[in-house]
Structure 1
Amino acid sequence: MIQAKNLHKYYDQLHVLKGVDLHIQKGEIVSIVGASGAGKTTLLQILGTLDKPEKDSNMELKINGDNILGLNDKKLSQFRNLNLGFIFQFHQLLPEFTALENVCIPAYIANKPKKETEEEAKRLLEYLGLSHRIHHKPNELSGGEQQRVAVARALINKPAIIFADEPSGNLDTVSAENLHQLFFKLRDEFGQTFVIVTHNEELANMADRKLVMVDGIISE
């Protein structure tokens, strides 16, 4: 599903990623842990096509068989929208839109029909226990509800891979546990692959595989 080879990244003179090799199977839940500054978020952003690694002839990044590094910016944006979903520590919901409207946004960007999109968004929100909150705006929702809306938004285009960066870092203990269980339920029901950067040891240890980043490289 994800094949990465010899990924490097510099920020000015700071060498953040130092030749990362990675292979993640379809349907696998992989956690990435490590101290602050180890390169976890940088790696997640590169795997999620939100950032680019340094150019190197020995470098490779393939997702679902597609050579990501060979795509131009327009094709890369299309690929990201249709194949990848993102969940962040801070839900990044647009405050002026309702839960339903926030969930629909990635599908609208993909030019999917409005009626079909709204039906799918309602189905996802119902699945996530939010059918009674679809017309509420983010400031009318609890932290756990906001994060579940963000999960629904990540799922609306049926992506093959979900990237999550500290997804429960801003939640209370109960909401965090519920979110963690949800990831495994989604994987079991829909077969999605999850790559999760987290400081939460419980979530990290629940994963099929835990990768530890130390000073820009991975140590399993």
Structure 2
Amino acid sequence: MSTENPVLLEGRGLTKSYGKLQVLKGIDITIGEAEVVSIVGASGAGKSTLLHLLGTLDVPDEGDVYLHGQRISSMSNKEMARFRNQNIGFIFQFHNLLPEFTALENVSLPGFLANRPEKEVEARAKELLEMLGLSHRLDHKPSEMSGGEQQRTAVARALINSPKLIFADEPSGNLDSKNADELHQIFFKLRQDLGQTFVLVTHNPALADMADRKLTMKDGYLLHPSEVAE
């Protein structure tokens, strides 16, 4: 990470087990503001588990997570849900859009959950959808949109509350190469235009190599750069 980037997110000594299987074995990680970081590694290395801990979707067995110096891993479930809604956005491989809702409604939902004024939320949702080339899809449901359009809708939804940080778990894994390339370019444009920070778990080598930093996981550990085979 460049020393010019103030620290936004930090994980210290993170461990996580499911039953007798220890998935994370002591992870230390720091993410800077306006940084794009990719996390790569074989299936089962612990990438998604780490993402879930950093994004407050799960809690570590040991260790702590800090966002802007605030310890968030010790919050109650209610406090964490509120904090997550206000500070963190998520993009998944399978976009997780609600099928009965239009693009505009899907994007607006996190804003409504944050109790923001309806007109303000809808105006921002329309602005984001237009920015992502979806102004003609406002009233379309997911089944009426292409895979690329659905994923861009998910990106808009992740941005609706102006989160400090966006986590993306295999965001282009379900897209063809053209749509994947377009999605990757969107991430870097958002970083450029909005100063958005991204942490991306991906098997896509092109996306991984575009990031400011590429971190490699193996058997529940983050490898030191000297341990990564060229």
- TM-score of the two chains, using structure 2 as the length reference: 0.93
1:13 to 15, 20, 24: 20
Give the match's secondary structure for 1:157. Answer: coil
Q: Distance in 2 between matches of 1:44 and 1:86?
A: 10
1:169 partnered with 2:176: no
Give the match's secondary structure for 2:84. Answer: helix
1:30 to 33, 37, 42: 37
Q: Distance in 1 between matches of 2:22 and 2:120?
A: 46
Aligned to 1:137: 141
Q: How does 1:78-93 map to 2 (within 5 A)?
A: 78-93=82-97
Q: How much does 1:203 deviate? A: 0.2
Give the match's secondary structure for 1:74. Answer: helix
Q: Distance in 1 between matches of 2:167 and 2:22?
A: 23
Could you report, residue by residue, the CA deviation over 1:145-181 in whole angstroms, capped at 9, with x for unpaired residues?
Answer: 0000000000000000000000000001100000000
1:214 to 208, 214, 218: 218
Q: Distance in 1 between matches of 2:209 and 2:32?
A: 18
1:159 partnered with 2:163: yes
Q: Distance in 2 between matches of 1:39 and 1:51?
A: 13
Q: Distance in 2 between matches of 1:67 and 1:60?
A: 7
Give the match's secondary structure for 1:93. Answer: coil
Gaps of 5+ in 1: none
Residue identity in the other structure for 2:10:
Q
Give the match's secondary structure for 1:170. Answer: coil
Aligned-pair Cα RMSD in Å: 0.7
Could you report, residue by residue, the CA deviation over 1:45-92 in whole angstroms, capped at 9, with x for unpaired residues?
Answer: 0000001110x3xx2210122101231111111100000000000000
Give the match's secondary structure for 1:94. Answer: coil
Give the match's secondary structure for 1:70. Answer: coil
- Which stretch shows the higher mean deviation, 153-162 or 62-71? 62-71
Residue identity in the other structure for 2:64:
E
Q: How much does 1:18 deviate? A: 0.3
Q: How does 1:71-220 map to 2 (within 5 A)?
A: 71-219=75-223, 220=225
Aligned to 1:44: 51
Residue identity in the other structure for 1:53:
P
Q: Distance in 2 between matches of 1:52 and 1:69?
A: 6
Aligned length: 217
Residue identity in the other structure for 2:177:
T
Could you report, residue by residue, the CA deviation over 1:89-112 in whole angstroms, capped at 9, with x for unpaired residues?
Answer: 000000000000000000000001
Q: Distance in 2 between matches of 1:119 and 1:35?
A: 41
